[in-house]
Chains A and B, each alone.
Chain A
Amino acid sequence: MRAFFDWLDDRTGYRDLVGAALYEHIPGGARWRYVWGSTLVFAFFMQVVTGFVLWTAYSPSAQTAWESVAYIQYDMQGGWLVRGLHHFMAQAMVVLLALHLMQVVIDGAYRAPREINFWLGLILMQIVLGLALTGYLLPWDQKGFWATRVATNLMGIVPVVGADLQRLVVGGTTYGHHTLTRFFALHAGVLPALLVFFLVLHVALFRRHGIHARDPERKPDHTFWPEQVMRDAVACLAVLLVVLGLVFLPGLGDRPAGAPPGYYLGAELGAPADPASPYSAARPEWYFLFLFQFLKFFHGETEIYGAIVIPGAVMGVLFLMPILGRWRLGHGFNIGFLIVMGIGIGALTVQAMVEDRGDETYLAAVEQAEMNATRVRDLTHAPEGIGAAGALALVRQDPMIQGPLLFNRHCVMCHTHVDENGHGLAGDEAPTASNLYGFATREWIAGLLSPEHIGTAAYFGATPYKQGDMVGWVNDTVPSMSDEEKADLQKVVAALSAEAHLPSQEAIDARDAATIEEGATLLKETVGCADCHRFHDAGELGSAPDLTGYGSYGWLSEFISDPTHERFYREAVDGGMPGFATHRENPLANKLSPEQLDVLVRWLRGEWYRPEFTLASTTGEGAAADPAPPPASDTTSAAPTPEASSEATMPAAAEPAAENPSAPAEPVEEPASPNEPEPGEESPADSPQAEEAPTEDAPAATPPAEEPPAADSQPSEEPTPTPEADSENEPAPSEPVSEEPSATL
């Protein structure tokens, strides 16, 4: 063996190399304060390894970058771990750089003969910051996209070459495929290569000049191995542990049972970048926050000072430190400068954070951004998956995300969409048309047929139809009904509501099939609806809207397209609803495109993908699941008061968040049909709110019809007591547990 190593050494001289590497002389002995450089090398080594691994799965293009990162994060084995390490180690590197710089300056290690090495270090710092900046964009999520957009726009203000420079970096005038390919080439190719090159020089010069010991007589000398290596290794371990801590930290919060670890561990991933829609939560990564805040102090044409001149001057002073340090007071100045710089950066960072924390618009935007991120994550795991058009298409076609936006844009001038707690969407002014929250559910229809509600703003109260025949009929007929007739009316409610085939009522509709059939017959023959309305083969079109398929996808689409169609109101009324897609032959002239109409209708019907796992409390997923959600509980509350509605506005999805499906059911006045709200809120066990739900709105717990039975078992543990109504209907009370709904008619 020895002969082999002798031979090897003869041919390669490796013993000298190893000796030089390990037995470097350290005057004054190994010290903990020397570890920073080594931790940086370690951090870079981690970045190279994890970076290469990520590279094997990453695909830089506007249509695949987010998608591939999402796949790494959520689906690949260990993907979240490697991505989390890469993400947090990058941040650790920035911190370590600052510490290394401080240690070097405070120790005066930049002075002759080490000036050049100090400059090499500053160049390395720039490269690392460049890596951080380019890496931030690569996931192509909203956060990275908007931060980069700001950063590259600032590049554009450089005199003379700015605009061209920006174009070169961005890869054109708009951000897209080539922005990513370029940033990726910089991040994974050019910058690391430069970093390695300068790092080799840096370490070589460091070895040439040796460690700069401030007081070498204090302790006996050591060699690098093993004393310093031991300290370096321990320091690297500490860095690794901190980074691992950051990777695992999010797991301490709520997490959805059974969800893959990538759902709640590691680095976050925002919603896919959408260059065409506003993103009000845009912020740079925390270590650039001070620059962001600094820019707020510069206005108009002075901006170049904030963005370029002053930061450039600060870097310039850093570069001059070895020269300044030659003067008698130079070293003191350098340290003072560094301290002032550190305090300035710290103060600006804190100021930025404090300002943001007090900024409601920003906080709402962050909440919305998180909800969207969670929602897109869930959508990527919907059966349809991510199509060739990418994840952004999922966002743009998702009723849960787009529904509230469309409603705000087109409907909220007249309608509201507000739950019994007053949360939801409403305009600034008092509504002039019905509250569409839970439209066509049993509760909603029951409210329509109740004298207490039909004349309120939630139904016809503020419309041109407030004196109409329907209001008149309800007010004249319903109060004088016998108990039996009222029971019949409930059956009619169930029958009419079943026409909508709402996803939220699938289970109870199936269970109550007999009642619904009975109700349909009553509707046609007995109650008198068919005197004005058409309902399948009974009644005629002409005097009132067609009830056939009432609230169904087709019915709603056609109604919104053209309410004046003969199936509905026949003619335009002053103050009546306009048609949103009346130009069938020229869709461009319509207020709603076919896609928008589809999304809006599906949102009103609560028809969207329900994820398997949700993080209700941490991400507001519950909230997100909610804006449209099918009715909770009772009819009383289905009629929101104007006050209630007025407070609810845009952060749309955000608001209903808190309450969510667990919306308490107040004691029911009318025979209501407490039915289960949220099919989306599956695996109720995951969220505290959801768990409370069954107890609070006892009558309501109908588990999500479309969900796997396993998850359902919890909410419906007991045969739920139901309001008086059921006693007249069917014997719900002893409903077996199982996944069957417990709600009753």
Chain B
Amino acid sequence: MVSSDRTSAPRDARAGDEDRRSFFSTATAVIVGGIVSVFPFAAGLLVLFDPLRRQGSAGGFLRIASLDELPADGVPRSFPVITDRVDAWNKFVNEPVGMVFLRRTKEGVAQVEALNAVCPHAGCFVDFLSKESHFQCPCHDSSFEPNGTRIHPERCPSPRDLDALAVEIRMVEGREEVWVEFKNFRAGTPEKIADA
């Protein structure tokens, strides 16, 4: 309203000044107004985006079980993964943080395979069905062989096989122990991308 009144005003010597001042006011109003109203959002984004710069607690090998806890016949058994966990402002010492399946790949030999129990599809924990002798995800029915490969890749909801983890057999006090480099991986992708 105001500005249109001005432009329709008779032109005189001061009209140029008026226009300039009007432009200046408009520009200032837009810019300053914009800055002050965007500022809290910008400041807020810093905090809201904080999770993007957080690093996940990347693995290292963890002791999972002693070797003699694994059945000789190669049937996978689940074990909790116990380690320290940080959740925002809390640190939890020696807590279960996940689950892995371990199985012997050769009878009687200290060769062990470790699979993360998390289904690569959407993140549920798979079960091992001993009757059917395969892994089954309780959420969307992905199924996997005992070695973690998808049973029907063409109709399995999971985009990749179960995630294998690096395993080491270490001798501790004369006993063979299974150590696993525990990691979680991004769900839903065909590639195995570790959560950073």
CB contacts (< 8 Å) of A170 on chain B: these are: 51
CB contacts (< 8 Å) of B184 on chain A: these are: 173-174
A154 and B188 form a contact (CB under 8 A):
yes
CB contacts (< 8 Å) of A588 on chain B: these are: 63
Scan residues 82-132 of chain B and give those whose CB is less than 8 A from a CB of chain A: 85, 87-90, 95-99, 117, 121-127, 129-130
Scan residues 159-182 of chain A and give those whose CB is less than 8 A from a CB of chain B: 162-164, 167-168, 170-174, 176-178
CB contacts (< 8 Å) of A172 on chain B: these are: 51, 54, 56, 88
- The verdict on A156 contacting B140 (CB below 8 Å), with A177-B87, A299-B154 known, is no
A277 and B124 form a contact (CB under 8 A):
no
Alpha-carbon separation in the docked complex, A583 to B189 (Å): 43
Picked from B96, B124, B138, B190, the residue with its CB within 8 Å of the CB of A361 is B138
For the complex formed, measure the closest distance between the CB of B117 and the CB atoms of chain A, giving whole angstroms.
Answer: 7
Scan residues 424-441 of chain A and give those whose CB is less than 8 A from a CB of chain B: 428
Is the C-beta of A146 less than 8 angstroms from some C-beta in chain B? yes
Alpha-carbon separation in the docked complex, A150 to B141 (Å): 13
Scan residues 136-185 of chain B and give those whose CB is less than 8 A from a CB of chain A: 136, 138-141, 153-160, 172-173, 175, 177, 184
Picked from B89, B90, B98, B139, the residue with its CB within 8 Å of the CB of A150 is B139
B97 and A276 form a contact (CB under 8 A):
yes
CB contacts (< 8 Å) of A154 on chain B: these are: 122, 188
Is the C-beta of A157 less than 8 angstroms from some C-beta in chain B? yes
Alpha-carbon separation in the docked complex, A145 to B85 (Å): 18
Scan residues 51-72 of chain B and give those whose CB is less than 8 A from a CB of chain A: 51-52, 54, 56, 63, 66, 68-69, 71
CB contacts (< 8 Å) of A274 on chain B: these are: 96
- The verdict on A280 contacting B51 (CB below 8 Å), with A299-B156, A300-B158 known, is no
**What's the dominant secondary structure at chain B's contact region?**
loop
- The verdict on A583 contacting B173 (CB below 8 Å), with A173-B56, A177-B90 known, is yes
Alpha-carbon separation in the docked complex, A275 to B186 (Å): 16
Name which residue of chain A comes closest to B63, CB basis: A588
Alpha-carbon separation in the docked complex, A167 to B48 (Å): 10
Is the C-beta of A343 less than 8 angstroms from some C-beta in chain B? no
Name which residue of chain B comes closest to A158, CB basis: B188
Picked from A62, A157, A279, A299, the residue with its CB within 8 Å of the CB of B87 is A62
Is the C-beta of A123 less than 8 angstroms from some C-beta in chain B? no
B157 and A296 form a contact (CB under 8 A):
yes
Name which residue of chain B comes closest to A293, CB basis: B140
Scan residues 6-23 of chain B and give those whose CB is less than 8 A from a CB of chain A: none
Is the C-beta of A591 less than 8 angstroms from some C-beta in chain B? yes
- The verdict on A276 contacting B138 (CB below 8 Å), with A157-B189, A282-B124, A303-B188 known, is no
CB contacts (< 8 Å) of A168 on chain B: these are: 48-49, 51-52
Is the C-beta of A63 less than 8 angstroms from some C-beta in chain B? yes
Alpha-carbon separation in the docked complex, A11 to B189 (Å): 63
A276 and B96 form a contact (CB under 8 A):
yes
A149 and B124 form a contact (CB under 8 A):
yes
Is the C-beta of A281 less than 8 angstroms from some C-beta in chain B? yes
A174 and B87 form a contact (CB under 8 A):
yes
For the complex formed, measure the closest distance between the CB of B135 and the CB atoms of chain A, giving whole angstroms.
Answer: 11
A293-315: CB near B (< 8 Å → 1, else 0) gives 00110111101000000000000
CB contacts (< 8 Å) of A157 on chain B: these are: 187-189
For the complex formed, measure the closest distance between the CB of B119 and the CB atoms of chain A, giving whole angstroms.
Answer: 9
- The verdict on A361 contacting B136 (CB below 8 Å), with A62-B87, A63-B90, A154-B122 known, is yes
For the complex formed, measure the closest distance between the CB of A245 and the CB atoms of chain B, giving whole angstroms.
Answer: 31
CB contacts (< 8 Å) of A589 on chain B: these are: 66, 172-173, 175, 177
Please list the residues of chain A having a beta carbon within 8 angstroms of any beta carbon in chain B.
Answer: 62-63, 146, 149-150, 153-154, 156-157, 162-164, 167-168, 170-174, 176-178, 274-282, 292, 295-296, 298-301, 303, 361-362, 365, 396, 409-410, 413, 428, 578, 583, 586, 588-589, 591
What are 13 residue pairs bridging A and B, where the CB atoms are less than 8 Å apart in the complex? A150-B123, A153-B122, A154-B188, A168-B48, A174-B56, A176-B88, A178-B88, A282-B139, A292-B140, A303-B121, A361-B127, A396-B96, A589-B66
Please list the residues of chain B having a beta carbon within 8 angstroms of any beta carbon in chain A.
Answer: 48-49, 51-52, 54, 56, 63, 66, 68-69, 71, 77-78, 80-81, 85, 87-90, 95-99, 117, 121-127, 129-130, 136, 138-141, 153-160, 172-173, 175, 177, 184, 186-190, 193, 195-196
18 new A-B pairs (CB below 8 Å) besides A62-B87, A172-B88? Answer: A154-B188, A157-B188, A167-B52, A172-B54, A173-B51, A174-B87, A176-B87, A276-B99, A278-B99, A278-B125, A278-B127, A281-B138, A282-B124, A295-B157, A296-B140, A300-B160, A303-B121, A589-B173
Sorted from nearest, which 6 A-B pairs have the closest CB atoms? A278-B125, A176-B87, A280-B138, A276-B96, A157-B188, A153-B187
